[in-house]
């Protein structure tokens, strides 16, 4: 039976931010996440670090929050952010009055912006449609969500924080009107564990309602699904927004070697079982083509859906997804429901995760009777790499590989370089699309890393393995062998891991009905068998 001061339920950006914040305040905390990092909304969004531009007109308060947090995240986690900048485009059919409104509101919110003519915009971004009338610049950026969540968690662990992935909370013990502890189940082994604690923070996003129910309280969230497309190209080097009342498909975010186009919005009953329809996908592509005509030839790599959990005040005839504020709310259940030691945080967005965490931690530390201040805005999530290490990396590895591995691992890259020095064949590339070396793969699978990977998907989230055009067809197989070789899995476990990884990857490509990804998927199916579970190897199992 473990024991800690605070248990955090939910390993998305908010939960990770809370863990870090608490650790800086010297409060012991353990984070429990039912899947791997950023399992919910965090891992299924654009990865857009908002400049605030999307909210200036509708929700100036949120916009101001974004402006501040945008700057802060860029300061504390530069290795997670690609400060590409963004544009808000005025398209021919959009309302020019809104454009005016936007400009004034942006000024009020403090967003640094300047106006560009259509021609100037096209000079910056040659792929833009020729009928774009003008654009505003803004400090939008892309943030690698997995890296950001990882960074928060790793920093917290270095200061005594604890976390467990694949740990699903199935019971919250409430006694005498106070939370006493939680019971959770390791979803991989089936083992159950108990932790006693003084406080529980419900940061479970789309699952916040079901977690709250474990403590016998209600948290009124509203689930809203957004579909996003990953394109195998970078038609723009900046974030492209459409300057109009927020609608579907009007953001394109360059995300490393790919781009993410989206999104849509429709209410869904819960956070699981999300699918995209081909009509949705076509609609998104059409909207994208209005901004960048070249997208008509783009190769869609993958389609995924994420759920936003929005909170609505209990009202008759609740508004549809988009009108609900993207702001957040902290529920103090002691005050609201008489359950002491239980706090929920719902709503919000990726960009303001740190702010949300700060609010929650302020509330929690007060309740714990600890006088503390939030310092997350000033502390770097990861120290910079020193020059000696950098030189070493450049010497031992080809430049692009060194660059990538430094960005991913930071100072930890020394450990990987050590292993390559001992065994030069570990410099071999396992994922050629994303430049992941065998050494890095083994490091990520190993137990000495603060956040070990348990599945090939986990490896992907930590290294981007399988995120490229082949979607894991080649590198996933090699990762499976690596997991087997490092005694992570037995042979049949490894094959099973690979099977479920592939299925996950295949699902994301299933609705793409044209273009080269279909061929890529065919290749994958042919190699590993499309009929039935691939462990059965084309149906010879079980007496067929």
Residues that bind other proteins (CB under 8 A): 232-234, 237, 254, 256-257, 297-299, 398-400, 403-404, 424-425, 428, 430, 432-433, 435, 438, 468-470, 473-474, 477-478, 481, 484-485, 490-492, 494-495, 498, 515-516, 519-520, 522-523, 525-530, 534-541
CB of 477 to other proteins, least distance (A): 6
Write the CB contacts of 176 (distance below 8 Å, at least 6 apart in sequence): none
Which residue, among 231, 300, 281, 293, has the nearest Cα to 91 in the 3D structure?
293
Nearer to other proteins by C-beta: 21 or 125? 125
Q: Which is nearer to other proteins, 293 or 469 (CB)?
A: 469
Residue 511 CB, nearest distance to other proteins (Å)? 17
The residue among 275 and 490 lying less far from other proteins, judged by its C-beta, is 490
Nearer to other proteins, 215 or 303 (CB): 303
**Shortest Cβ distance from residue 251 to other proteins (Å)?**
19
Using CB atoms within 10 Å of the CB of residue 467, give its burial: 0 to 12 exposed, 13 to 18 middle, 19+ buried.
buried
Q: How far is the CB of 481 from other proteins (least distance, A)?
A: 5
User: By C-beta, is 247 or 539 nearer to other proteins?
Assistant: 539
Those residues with Cβ within 8 angstroms of residue 136's Cβ, 6 or more apart along the chain or in another chain: 53, 87, 88, 99, 102, 103, 106, 113, 114, 115, 116, 243
Q: How far is the CB of 297 from other proteins (least distance, A)?
A: 7
- 380 or 530, CB closer to other proteins? 530
**Which of residues 373 and 421 has its CB atom nearest to other proteins in the complex?**
421
Cα separation, 144 vs 126, whole angstroms? 25
In whole angstroms, give the CA distance from residue 197 to residue 215.
14
Closest contact distance (angstroms) between CB of 216 and other proteins is: 47
Q: CB–CB of 258/295 below 8 Å?
A: no
Edge-to-edge, what's the strand order for the sheet holding 192-196? 2-3, 192-196, 178-186, 167-175
How many whole angstroms separate alpha carbon 291 and alpha carbon 474? 34
CB atoms closer than 10 angstroms to residue 415: 15
Strand partners, 482: none
Task: Provide the minimum distance between the beta carbon of 140 and other proteins in the complex, in angstroms, as a whole number.
Answer: 17
């Amino acid at each position: 039976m473990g024991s800690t001061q605070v248990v955090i339920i939910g390993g998305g950006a908010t939960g990770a931010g809370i863990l870090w914040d608490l650790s800086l305040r010297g409060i012991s905390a353990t984070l429990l996440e039912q899947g791997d990092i950023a399992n919910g909304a965090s891992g299924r969004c654009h990865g857009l670090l908002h400049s605030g531009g999307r909210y200036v007109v509708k929700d100036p308060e949120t916009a101001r929050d974004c402006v501040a947090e945008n700057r802060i995240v860029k300061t504390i986690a530069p290795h997670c952010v690609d400060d590409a900048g963004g544009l808000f485009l005025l398209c021919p059919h959009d309302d020019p009055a809104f454009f005016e409104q936007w400009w004034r509101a942006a000024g009020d919110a403090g967003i640094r912006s300047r106006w560009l003519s259509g021609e100037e915009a096209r000079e910056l971004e040659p792929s833009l449609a020729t009928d774009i009338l003008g654009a505003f610049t803004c400090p939008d950026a892309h943030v690698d969500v997995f890296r950001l969540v990882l960074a928060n968690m790793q920093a917290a662990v270095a200061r005594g924080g604890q976390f467990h992935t694949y740990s699903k909370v199935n019971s919250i013990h409430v006694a005498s009107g106070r939370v006493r502890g939680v019971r959770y189940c390791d979803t991989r082994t089936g083992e159950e564990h108990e932790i006693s604690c003084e406080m529980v923070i419900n940061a479970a996003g789309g699952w916040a309602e079901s977690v709250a129910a474990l403590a016998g309280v209600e948290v009124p969230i509203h689930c809203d699904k957004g579909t996003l497309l990953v394109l195998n190209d970078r038609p723009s080097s900046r974030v492209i927004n459409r300057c109009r009342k927020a609608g579907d498909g009007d953001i394109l975010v360059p995300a490393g070697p790919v781009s993410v186009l989206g999104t849509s919005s429709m209410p869904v009953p819960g956070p699981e079982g999300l699918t995209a329809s081909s009509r949705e996908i076509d609609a998104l592509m059409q909207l994208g083509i209005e901004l960048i005509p070249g997208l008509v030839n783009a190769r869609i790599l993958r389609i995924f859906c994420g759920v936003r959990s929005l909170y609505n005040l209990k009202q008759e005839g609740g508004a549809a997804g988009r009108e609900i504020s993207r702001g957040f709310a902290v529920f103090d259940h002691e005050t609201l429901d008489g359950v002491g030691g239980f706090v929920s945080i719902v709503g919000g967005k990726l960009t303001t995760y740190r702010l949300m965490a700060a609010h929650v931690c302020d509330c929690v530390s007060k309740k714990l009777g600890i006088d503390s201040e939030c310092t997350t805005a000033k502390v770097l999530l990861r120290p910079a790499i020193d020059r000696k290490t950098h030189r070493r990396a450049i010497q031992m590895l080809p430049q692009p590989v060194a660059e990538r591995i430094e960005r991913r691992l930071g100072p930890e890259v020394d450990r990987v370089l050590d292993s390559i020095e001992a065994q030069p064949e570990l410099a071999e590339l396992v994922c050629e699309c994303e430049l992941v070396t065998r050494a890095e793969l083994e490091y990520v699978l190993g137990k000495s890393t603060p956040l070990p990977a348990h599945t090939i998907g986990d490896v992907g989230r930590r290294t981007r393995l399988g995120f490229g055009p082949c979607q894991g067809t080649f590198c996933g197989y090699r990762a499976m062998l690596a997991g087997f070789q490092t005694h992570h899995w037995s042979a049949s476990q490894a094959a099973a891991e690979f099977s479920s990884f592939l299925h996950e990857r295949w699902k994301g490509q299933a609705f793409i009905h044209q273009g080269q990804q279909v061929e890529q998927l065919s290749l994958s199916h042919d190699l590993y068998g499309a009929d039935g579970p691939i462990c059965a190897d084309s149906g010879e199992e079980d007496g067929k």
